[in-house]
């Protein structure tokens, strides 16, 4: 046997489910580790005069399962430094074997060769006993980690690690938050082990009252009729990553963050999304939307830790809001135009907030003060326009802009800095009003112009580099020449 680690599956239990090639590997092993001897086939292996060490004692010394599996993996990797090692696990090596995951990760990092020799999984035996087809959709979750690996009631699930009535009780409490108490589920014990198979269907609330639960027991949860299916790529993985990063053994930086320290990153990621939209770079947009989603999930995780809400509450809340604000799609209301839709949307928002402007303050109160100045101006002008306080068309707004520009020039000639600042703000506000009348978002328009400036100025820098010049040494006329060239090339 060559140096490295061979990871062997022992099958679901009976000796007949242990492939001959796997048995040959066990017999020929110089150093053989078994994750546990609490498995039906192990007694038979002993009778074959096969010597091995097991990690059963690790379960008694570890503070938690993560620590236990880390210790097991560390021992196997340490032994592999001196010669070939065989590590044997119940079922299939890649099904519900955390220590194997750790070994694979660390072996790759350390340059240790790994060979995986599969066997029948206990899941295959469970599917056979219950006569279910996993291709129709199946979740496999660790009963000890339901807090970070919640199931989706719309899809069938097998819960593993149901090894005692105490654990079954904890699993029941976690599942009752998602499933009806009367939901019919099935406990399966000893699937694939001749003479040991047993299964019983019962209401979910009854699973911890069964006296034959042991280490060979799993729980099957059929889908709940009418439950909503999640997206093809649910956010569970991202949520679990944030849980890990914020945990005691996670990342120090991530653990230190709070809603306030993350604010700058939320703003930055939002603007990076806007930039990629302007660039029409769909590949980069996908990446930037992911970065923005990360910030949302991060905030939700912090709130979850403090007992306020979690990402499921966020998604559920906005889903209900979208249904509620689209009665013309999800209800019987008939709306024909976008203007009617917007008017109905605003009425529903006012009803939700109870902020009738005539009773509880200004119609402008709903516009967040923290918006960028251009966007804030756009929003409050649009709010005021709903009351009729608006120009009939862009021409009146344009005349106001020309008037403000005249006043700005007068302030410039006067040399009064305070007045000049005020008039500068008036010009910008008036320009926003013209843009709004023309149905142009000034924030997006300015973002596009900023991007255009970046491209053209970069063009000047490149041309200067080609000529071996520093920008500081170029005249304004030279730089303007290349600026005009950049404009022509863009067209």
Reported as a single tens digit per residue, the pLDDT across 190-247 is 888 888 889 999 999 999 999 999 888 999 999 988 665 554 456 888 998 999 999 9
- Mean pLDDT for 99-109 is 92
CATH number at residue 71: 3.40.1010.10
pLDDT digits (tens, 9 = 90+) for 437-446: 999 989 888 8
The rounded distance, in Å, linking the Cα atoms of 167 and 217 is 11
Residue 256 pLDDT class (50, 70, 90 cuts): very high
The rounded distance, in Å, linking the Cα atoms of 351 and 460 is 54
Considering just the CA atoms, what is the radius of gyration of the chain in Å?
33
- Mean pLDDT for 407-416 is 92
CA 46 to chain centre: 46
**Residue 3: predicted pLDDT:** 64
Contacts of 180 (CB under 8 A, 6+ apart): 204, 224
Q: How many domains does the chain have?
A: 4
Averaged pLDDT of the chain: 88
pLDDT exceeds cutoff 50 at 1 = no
Tell me, yes or no, whether 335 lies in a domain: no
User: Which one has a higher pLDDT value, 355 or 140?
Assistant: 140
Tokens of 251: 């990342």
Q: Which of 469, 377, 393 is nearest to 430 (CA)?
A: 377
Tell me, yes or no, whether 305 lies in a domain: yes
**Residue 157: predicted pLDDT:** 93
**Residue 225: predicted pLDDT:** 80
Tell me, yes or no, whether 87 lies in a domain: yes
Q: Among 279, 309, 324, give the residue marking a domain's end.
A: 324
Tell me, yes or no, whether 313 lies in a domain: yes
Same-domain status, 217 and 242: no
Taking the model in full, what pTM does it have?
A: 0.47
Alpha helices in 2-48 (DSSP H): 20-27, 40-47
Same-domain status, 17 and 106: yes
Same-domain status, 147 and 88: no
**Residue 467: predicted pLDDT:** 87
| Percent of all residues in the chain with a pLDDT value above 70, rounded to a whole number | 95
The rounded distance, in Å, linking the Cα atoms of 287 and 282 is 9
| Percent of all residues in the chain with a pLDDT value above 90, rounded to a whole number | 50
Q: Among 87, 120, 153, give the residue marking a domain's end.
A: 120
Token pair 């020449």 in the structure block, residue? 481
Contacts of 20 (CB under 8 A, 6+ apart): none
pLDDT exceeds cutoff 70 at 372 = yes
Q: How do 85-89 and 32-34 pair as beta strands?
A: parallel
The rounded distance, in Å, linking the Cα atoms of 168 and 177 is 15
The rounded distance, in Å, linking the Cα atoms of 219 and 304 is 28
User: Which one has a higher pLDDT value, 234 or 256?
Assistant: 256
Same-domain status, 15 and 109: yes
Tokens of 480: 């303007």
Same-domain status, 106 and 188: no
Q: How many CB atoms are closer than 10 A to CB 230? A: 14
Same-domain status, 79 and 133: no
Tokens of 213: 């639960």
**Residue 195: predicted pLDDT:** 82
- Mean pLDDT for 55-83 is 87
Same-domain status, 144 and 170: yes
CATH number at residue 140: 3.30.950.10
Task: Quickly list DSSP for 277-313.
Answer: HHHT-HHHHHHHHHHHHHHHHHHHHHHHHTTS--HHH
Tell me, yes or no, whether 49 lies in a domain: yes
pLDDT digits (tens, 9 = 90+) for 291-321: 999 999 999 999 999 999 999 889 888 988 8
Tokens of 34: 């078994």
Q: Do 433 and 374 form a contact (C-beta atoms < 8 A)?
A: no
pLDDT digits (tens, 9 = 90+) for 342-351: 888 878 877 7
Partners of 221 in beta bridges: 157
**Residue 63: predicted pLDDT:** 65
Q: Do 311 and 235 form a contact (C-beta atoms < 8 A)?
A: yes
Domain that holds residue 483: 443-490
pLDDT digits (tens, 9 = 90+) for 468-483: 888 888 899 999 999 9
Q: Among 59, 93, 120, give the residue marking a domain's end.
A: 120
Tell me, yes or no, whether 330 lies in a domain: no
Same-domain status, 274 and 312: yes
Partners of 139 in beta bridges: 157
The rounded distance, in Å, linking the Cα atoms of 124 and 218 is 12
Q: What share of the chain is helix, strand, coil (3-state, %, to 5)?
A: 55, 10, 35
The rounded distance, in Å, linking the Cα atoms of 180 and 157 is 15
Same-domain status, 116 and 128: no
Q: Which of 319, 450, 446, 469 is nearest to 373 (CA)?
A: 446
Same-domain status, 149 and 176: yes
The rounded distance, in Å, linking the Cα atoms of 413 and 394 is 29
Tokens of 452: 């255009």
Same-domain status, 99 and 52: yes
Tell me, yes or no, whether 86 lies in a domain: yes
Tell me, yes or no, whether 362 lies in a domain: no
CATH number at residue 263: 1.10.287.1080
The rounded distance, in Å, linking the Cα atoms of 316 and 312 is 6
Same-domain status, 214 and 275: no
CA triple 389-395-397, angle to 5 deg: 45
- The Cα diameter of the chain in Å comes to 104
């Amino acid at each position: 046997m060559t140096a490295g680690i061979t990871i062997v599956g022992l099958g679901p239990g009976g000796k007949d489910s242990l492939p001959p090639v796997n048995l040959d590997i066990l017999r020929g092993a110089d150093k053989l580790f078994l994750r546990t001897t609490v498995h039906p086939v192990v007694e038979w292996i002993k009778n074959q005069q096969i010597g091995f060490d097991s990690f059963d004692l690790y379960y008694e010394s570890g503070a938690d399962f993560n620590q236990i599996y880390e210790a097991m993996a560390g021992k196997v990797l340490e032994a592999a430094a001196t010669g070939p090692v065989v590590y044997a696990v119940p079922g299939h090596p890649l099904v519900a074997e955390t220590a194997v995951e750790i070994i694979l990760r660390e072996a790759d990092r350390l340059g240790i060769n790994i060979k995986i020799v599969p066997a029948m999984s206990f899941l295959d035996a469970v599917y056979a006993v219950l006569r279910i087809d996993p291709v129709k959709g199946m979740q496999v979750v660790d009963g000890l980690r339901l807090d970070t690996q919640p199931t989706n009631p719309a899809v069938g699930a097998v819960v593993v690690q149901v090894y005692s009535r105490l654990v079954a009780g904890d699993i029941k409490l976690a599942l009752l938050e998602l499933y009806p108490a009367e939901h019919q589920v099935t406990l399966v014990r000893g699937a694939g082990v001749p003479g040991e198979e047993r299964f019983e269907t019962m209401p979910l609330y009854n699973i911890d009252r069964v006296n034959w639960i042991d280490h060979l027991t799993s729980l099957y949860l059929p889908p709940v009729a009418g439950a909503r299916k999640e997206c093809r790529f649910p956010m569970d993985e991202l949520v679990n990553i944030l849980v890990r990063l914020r945990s005691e053994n996670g990342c120090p930086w991530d653990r230190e963050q709070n809603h306030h320290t993350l604010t700058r990153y939320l703003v930055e990621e939002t603007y990076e999304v806007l930039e990629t939209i302007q660039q029409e770079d769909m590949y980069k947009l996908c990446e930037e939307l992911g970065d923005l989603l990360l910030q949302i999930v991060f905030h939700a995780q912090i709130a979850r830790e403090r007992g306020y809400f979690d990402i499921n509450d966020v998604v559920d809340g906005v889903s209900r809001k979208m249904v509620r604000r689209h009665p013309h799609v999800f209800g019987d209301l008939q709306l024909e135009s976008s203007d009617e839709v917007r008017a109905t949307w605003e009425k529903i928002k006012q009803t939700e907030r109870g902020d009738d402007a005539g009773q509880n303050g200004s119609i402008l109160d709903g516009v967040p003060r923290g918006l960028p100045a251009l966007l804030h101006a756009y929003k409050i002008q649009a709010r005021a326009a709903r009351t009729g306080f608006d120009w009939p068309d862009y021409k009146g707004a344009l005349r106001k802009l020309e008037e403000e520009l005249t006043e700005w020039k007068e302030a410039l000639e006067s040399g009064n800095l305070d007045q000049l600042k005020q008039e500068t703000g008036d010009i910008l506000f008036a320009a926003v009003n013209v843009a709004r009348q023309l149905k142009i978002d000034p924030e997006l328009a300015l973002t596009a112009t900023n991007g255009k400036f970046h491209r053209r100025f970069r063009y000047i820098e490149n041309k200067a580099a080609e000529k071996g010049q520093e920008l500081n040494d170029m005249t304004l006329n030279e730089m303007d020449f290349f600026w005009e060239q950049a404009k022509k090339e863009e067209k």
